[in-house]
Structure 1
Amino acid sequence: MTQDVSDNSTIPYFSDVMGSPPYLWQQQFYAACQRGEPPEAIDIPTGLGKTVCVLLLLLARLQNPSLPARVVYIVDRRAVVDQTAALIETWIERIAELPRLAEKFHAMAAFPSDLPVQLGVLRGGLADDGAWRVDPARASVVIGTVDMVGSKILFAGYGDGRSRRSMHAGLLGHDAIAVLDEAHLSPAMDAVLHAVAKLQGSRFFRTVTLSATGRGRSNALCLSAEKETHPAVRQRLHAVKTLDLQRVKTPSERVEALCTAALAHRTGAIAIFVRTVGDARRIASRLLKSIGDDAPDRVALLTGTLRGHERAALMSSAVWRTFLPGRPRDPDAPASFLVMTAAGEVGVDLDADHGAMDLGTLDSMIQRIGRINRAGERSATVTVVATNTDTE
């Protein structure tokens, strides 16, 4: 049964940190956490602030100290770890700038610290500074990939010595709430987390799964579209996206058709999604060749094969900035193109003006299209190119 919490009261300090009032589903989630009953799943369309549940859990613990001290946010992609960590770091900085709020977090800790909330990042290619391990009583947010967090919870952490393994298992698997983003992509991790919760008991370890594909659990917290009156939510729910379906005979023709569809847009941020790294590279190469001299500032590639420094360079590039939500838009600026595989489908916070893509699974298409015209501020065109074999 879908949870429908009627408590619409304001969330203390939320607007001070976020700069805007909460959505209805966020109020419902906070109210449930405040009662000590966080929902097991959140099934909300992409672009409606699911990551904010981390902040809501932190704020709810100030009202209900029985909630876990650590929020462990687990994602399936390394690129998402970095982007999410940067976002949560801005929230922690904002909390530190609010003396009364910061003092509430400091009062719940065992040892003094400069930061009211500690942040830990666990992913391959990045050293963990370990600050979140120093004070188990202090509110902490730990962000990591499925492999890194999963191995540590199971006493087999990558790179951990014998003593460190038990420490990480204790900190991540006890007095913690695990938030698994896009749980449908990591069913094994979902099963592990629920097994740990069953062994520990809900008082010591809880899980929340996030999804935007409509495949959440029966007791998931879902968006009440008919009750949601927030203007931004309604605008996103009613965003105009026109679908243009094209059929071609061969995979090579599909690549050519995707390039043609993308280049037809003279301005804006154009997202191109394909299933394989090979197709992504071919499309990026074709775009670079077609655009000419200024192509490096207008074309970028995001795949799961990027190394750490390559992802960092991409996320600091001019192309990446043209796809960020809330960015200033120059109607006269030439189009920018971001070519992506599944690495750009899940968890990455992007808002493209138009899109072109090959045909994927239903879950994949939901994620892809959800990253086009997310804010609903204009009309968007989504071109889908398929061969006959794609639908067999």
Structure 2
Amino acid sequence: MTAELETFVTFMRTATGHTPRPYQAQLAAEGLPALLRVPTGGGKTAAAVLPWLYRRLVAAPAGTPRRLVLALPRESVADQAFERIGEWLDRLGLSGGEVGLHLLAGGAAQDGGWRRNPERTAILVGTHDVLLSRALMRGHADWRPMAPVSYGLLHNDAQWVFDELELLGPALPTTRRLQELRDRWGTAAPTATMWMTSTSSAAELGPERVGAGGLATRRRLTRLHPAPERYEGALAEAVAAAHLPGTRTLVVLNTLARARAVHAALAAAGTEALLLHPHYREADRRRLLAAATAEHDLDLVLVATPVVEAALDLSSRTLVTELAPWASLVQRAGRCNRYGEHPEGGELLWCTPPEGGDPSVERWLTARDGRSVTPAELLAAEPGAPEPALAPTAPPTPDELRALFDTADQSSADQSTADQGSADLGTPGDATATVGTSVGTADRWLAAPAQLTALVAWRSWADGRPAEDEPDPSSAELCAVPLGELAELPAGRAWLRDPLDARWRPALPAELAPGARLVLDARHGGYLPTLGWTPLSRTPVVPEPAPPQRPAYACTAWVSLDQHLQETEQEARLLLAALPALPSEQHEAVARAARYHDLGKCHDAFQDKLRAGRTDPPDGLLAKSKNGAEPLPPYLSPRPHLRHELVSALLLWQGGHDPLVTYLAAAHHGHVRITVRPRPGEAPGLLLGVADGDRTPPVELSSGERFPAQQLDTSDFPAPWTERARTLRDHPELGPFRLAFLETLVRVADWRASARHDGPLPSAGG
């Protein structure tokens, strides 16, 4: 054994308490392959994370992507994998900031903190619908103007890992197409994909590595024959009869409706059971997972949906399952006597659901009735004609992916107020533009629409509607709800914050979209802590406590325009120095765009807004306002839709500056990118608050550069701008992935420069 592998042995023992299996050590020595095939219980999660982390920090830092993106199947509960990785980082002494760890699933999908440090080694754990929607520039639960940042970081310097490729459905060919285009169009730093499986061989995805070393555990197959006319009740009776006191029995149903029905039948017969599915609020989900996986209390019946098929470390003596596709069945079998804790073997009982199932799988199981099987036998088996690993769904074409790069949205909320305060980080308080938009979605490449989810919170209102100042729901309040069931609620029951004026209103049917954040009246029910999302329940929901009020945090000093531009360029150059080298032209374009990005704040309407209601503004052009303890009086801007970055674009455009520099400066808030159009309801003659013929004052920078007073020309701007932006997007030395990454660097530099002057505000009256 080489010294390097001995070091990895120490690394993994420290993290997990276990010696690495030979295939895991090989991954640490050679890197992650395109395809990894490992039996259930064979340590795939550790194999996905720890060899990558070892190579990133110890063995090959320069050649290992700095972000690991662990994408779990859509119905998975990602909490356990997230917490386990956090424990590994703690044991390695890496949880203090050297390695970031972020959860992007369910209510946590709206967290944008992971975007703030692109130079940092980080692990993202989430479900494939949330992660891939961001990789398609249509992020679920993501604020639309932040989409280019998510996109830029996920396509550059990232190692994607997809767990259980057979469970990805229509997303599988999408993942392959994205990697093909990253290889073809180029990225700012290498990005790779590894697909993991416990069943299929998929040579078309790339070279395969088979990880052996799983335990030779056994489970005996037995067929059940529940009466079709009372299927759920008969199955519940079989479960109660099969459960051995003092052990865990796991029951896996193919649908949420049947899982609810079998759980209810068990309860009616006096058998206590837990119900596990993805549709719980955070605190209830964590309590349920803790109870379901506890080692000290094994006298348990657990009824579940396919949520148990991936990323859940769970074992049972008795497993009762419906007939399912072979890949799903193998995953379920891996939750029976997973660790050989029952030397006599586990019991796997199966039945055919009312709608039937795959005849070849049914024949394979029937032929082995009464026999015991091991994970290796299941891995080697291919009942009937093997299905192709890649689903027949057509992936997005290159032209469709190029079109998704345009995030222009006619119904985005006006976010100009963000420019007066803290850095534009896309916090949960921002009005979302993920619903009611005119931009095409990417959902057909992720899953069937009814299988996707919106995020729902419950609130109590005295007058049956949200208050004007009702805060947005926190992650702790949100529950992922299937769109198919949400759509069955009475019209007007769900409320959303209007993406145009930021006011609460009833959601239209078309706005019940994947990732939408909605609020329901708690009086009408729909949720129970022990059952999760329960649309037929009329018991009033107990709302989650509101999160503690955070101290007001904003800019605490007047910042001149020249100072902010200097500081943003400084931050850009520091960031560039911490990342893999870019071509010199792109490197300088980022730095210069940072230097020029806020030139448009010289516009009189913006300067008036910065000074409005304040008694001590200094002379000269400003970039940031000083905030105090007292709230400002209302200010009605004569240009309510003004985007200062459009003014920056016009100044640079009319001054003949480099097209890439001009684009990056314009794109630094995500509103002025490919297509530029007026906001709905904007006064005639205005384009994002800028009138044709507006004049700007002269601007002098400490760099010695001078921008003379100009008359802005918007009359013939949008079409040529779009043509030039598309040329940049399609340029062979840029391409969409690199271009979005350059946008990200300018934006992060802007956030960091702004943060230099941010701090807690003093209390009112104090």
The normalised TM-score by structure 2 is 0.42
For residues 198-255 of structure 1, the C-alpha deviation after alignment (integer angstroms, 9 at most, x for no partner) is: 333386210001111234436221134xxx4xxxx3xx2x212111113344152464
Match of 1:107 in 2: none
> Of residues 215, 221, 226 in structure 2, which corresponds to 1:243?
221
Amino acid at match of 1:88: I
Distance 1:82 1:152 in 2: 20
Match of 2:657 in 1: none
| Deviation at residue 74 of structure 1 after TM alignment | 0.6
1:102-141 to structure 2, matched below 5 A, reads 102=94, 114-126=96-108, 128-141=110-123
* Secondary structure at 1:71 match in 2: strand
Distance 1:258 1:213 in 2: 29
CA distance 1:60–1:251, shift in 2 (3 Å)? farther
Distance 1:84 1:63 in 2: 24
Match of 1:59 in 2: 54
1:285 is aligned to 2:256: no
Match of 2:195 in 1: 209
1:172-187 to structure 2, matched below 5 A, reads 172-187=154-169
> Of residues 147, 153, 177 in structure 2, which corresponds to 1:171?
153
1:18 is aligned to 2:16: yes
Distance 2:68 2:169 in 1: 20
Q: Which moved more, 1:344-353 or 1:302-311?
A: 302-311
* Secondary structure at 2:329 match in 1: helix
> Of residues 39, 42, 61 in structure 2, which corresponds to 1:45?
39
| Deviation at residue 22 of structure 1 after TM alignment | 0.1
For residues 297-317 of structure 1, the C-alpha deviation after alignment (integer angstroms, 9 at most, x for no partner) is: xx1011344444542331233
CA distance 1:377–1:200, shift in 2 (3 Å)? same
Distance 2:144 2:308 in 1: 36
> Of residues 304, 307, 315 in structure 2, which corresponds to 1:343?
307
Distance 1:263 1:15 in 2: 42
Match of 1:221 in 2: 209
| Deviation at residue 362 of structure 1 after TM alignment | 1.6
Identity among equivalent pairs (%): 26
* Secondary structure at 2:103 match in 1: strand
1:321 is aligned to 2:293: yes
| Deviation at residue 159 of structure 1 after TM alignment | 4.1
* Secondary structure at 1:30 match in 2: helix
Preserved CA contact (<8 Å) 1:8 1:27: no
Preserved CA contact (<8 Å) 1:44 1:222: yes
Match of 2:237 in 1: 259
CA distance 1:250–1:163, shift in 2 (3 Å)? closer
| Deviation at residue 352 of structure 1 after TM alignment | 1.0
Preserved CA contact (<8 Å) 2:167 2:328: no
For residues 10-67 of structure 1, the C-alpha deviation after alignment (integer angstroms, 9 at most, x for no partner) is: 315221111111011111221221xxxx210111111111111212101112211211
CA distance 1:176–1:51, shift in 2 (3 Å)? same
Preserved CA contact (<8 Å) 1:262 1:270: no
Distance 1:174 1:268 in 2: 47
> Of residues 170, 176, 179 in structure 2, which corresponds to 1:194?
176
Amino acid at match of 2:120: R
* Secondary structure at 2:63 match in 1: coil
* Secondary structure at 2:65 match in 1: coil
Amino acid at match of 2:98: P
Match of 1:373 in 2: 337
CA distance 1:161–1:354, shift in 2 (3 Å)? closer
Match of 2:140 in 1: 158
CA distance 1:268–1:8, shift in 2 (3 Å)? farther
| Deviation at residue 263 of structure 1 after TM alignment | 3.3
> Of residues 87, 92, 95 in structure 1, which corresponds to 2:89?
92
Query: Structure 1 regions of 5+ residues with no counterpart?
Result: 1-5, 97-101, 103-112
Match of 2:613 in 1: none
Preserved CA contact (<8 Å) 2:69 2:159: yes
Distance 1:114 1:7 in 2: 28
| Deviation at residue 79 of structure 1 after TM alignment | 4.5
Preserved CA contact (<8 Å) 1:73 1:180: yes
Preserved CA contact (<8 Å) 1:302 1:340: yes
Query: Structure 2 regions of 5+ residues with no counterpart?
Result: 360-766
Amino acid at match of 2:293: R
Match of 1:361 in 2: 325
Distance 2:209 2:71 in 1: 19
Distance 2:64 2:300 in 1: 45
Distance 1:9 1:122 in 2: 32
CA distance 1:276–1:163, shift in 2 (3 Å)? closer
CA-based RMSD of the aligned residues comes to 2.8
CA distance 1:204–1:92, shift in 2 (3 Å)? same
1:374-389 to structure 2, matched below 5 A, reads 374-378=338-342, 379-386=345-352
The normalised TM-score by structure 1 is 0.79
